[in-house]
Amino acid sequence: MLRIQKSLPRTVTMILLACIVAACGGELGEGEQPTTVPIERDILTATSPPPPTQTPSPEPTEAPTNTGTPTASPTPLGGGGRVAFSTNRKGHYDIYVMNSDGSEAARLTDDPGSDTFPMWSPTGDQIAFISDRERTGDLYVMEADGSNQWMIADMSRGAWSPSWTPDGEQVVFSNMIWDCINAPCPPIRMDMYIVNDDGSGMRSLFVGPPSYYNAVISPDGSKIAFATGNLNSFEIYVMDRDGSDRKNITNFPSDDTDLSWSPDGETIAFASNRDGNYEIYLMKPDGTDLVRLTDNPATDRMPAWSPDGQWIVFASDREGNYDIFLIPVGGGIAIRLTETEADEMQPSWANGGS
């Protein structure tokens, strides 16, 4: 019989006894099946925890430069472009130009005679004007910077208010005919002419009484608006470009003059004293939809449209002498653009590229 040493630990003794029993009774009884102990594979497989995933450090990025919120360039007062006008700042009338906000006034003509009635060409690269530098009232053209001044119509006396055709190739103007054989040289009639910008091809469009015409061509070139009458009452007419189909569109016992077509041809601005003093008015080319734009005790005359049709410049003596003012077409406060002791008048507005 197997002797068990007392010195063996109890656990070892139990194991040995179990082995002896298994050896002695190891045969399976009839019908017995060996017992199978299910073992989970992952218990048998020694695994170590996976190494920690290395999270890549983010690459440093440059902080965005704060350039501020982008802003559009401010729109100049009046929408931009250049305004030509006549002024006697130097003792006689010369042609000046300035920005639509009244800044950067520059002198274009410098002649002992009077240079008046500036009118920009449709492209803004030339200015037509009237000058008596050689005799009374001839028609001239110059470049937008004042260079290359040349006479295109030698009228001897009385050329007035030039207006360009839309293609910039011809100029319409009025010319006073005087009876200088009989003193004191009274006016006989006022003729309306059209001439090419090089001085060729001049012809008469209309012959009428001795009155001021202020002829202006519509933007599409099909119509001519003009004022005619006597010294106390002028009416505004519209006719076809060839001088036919003349229609009175004001029919009011007042002085209606100083015409200017809107860029889209839908409105005519003019000056009238129908309410007691000269103010700026607007109307359709057929004389309807009359609107009074200015309302001031002074004299407001000589309106001219901005290229975008949103503003009107005009001359007014509301500060004592004539200055150039600016007002929105929808009405509002008139803004003074010139502030000198001289008279500034007859404004004409060109596109921004001029």
Q: Is residue 351 part of a domain?
A: no
| Number of folded domains that form the chain | 1
Six-digit token string for 131: 């000058």
- Angstrom CA distances, 209 to 103, 251, 270, 327, stand at 41, 18, 21, 34
Q: Does any domain span residue 15?
A: no
Each residue's pLDDT tens digit, 11-57: 434 433 343 334 444 444 444 444 433 333 333 333 444 445 554 55
Question: Is residue 26 in a domain?
Answer: no
Mean pLDDT of 117-135: 93
Q: What is the CATH number of the domain that holds 124?
A: 2.120.10.30
- Confirm whether 180 is domain-assigned: yes
- Confirm whether 14 is domain-assigned: no
pTM metric for this prediction: 0.76
Domain hosting 298: range is 77-346
Domain-embedded: residue 241: yes
Contact 85, 348 (CB under 8 A): yes
Q: Which one is predicted more confidently, 18 or 78?
A: 78
Q: Tell me whether the omega of the peptide bond preceding residue 184 falls within 30 degrees of 0, making it cis.
A: yes
The encoded tokens of residue 50 equal 């996976």
Judge whether 203 lies within some domain. Answer: yes
Q: Does residue 271 lie in a domain region?
A: yes
Task: List Cβ neighbours of 196 (8 Å cut-off, separation of 6 or more).
Answer: 152, 169, 170, 202
Q: 191-232 pLDDT, tens per residue?
A: 888 999 999 999 988 777 666 678 899 999 999 999 988 767
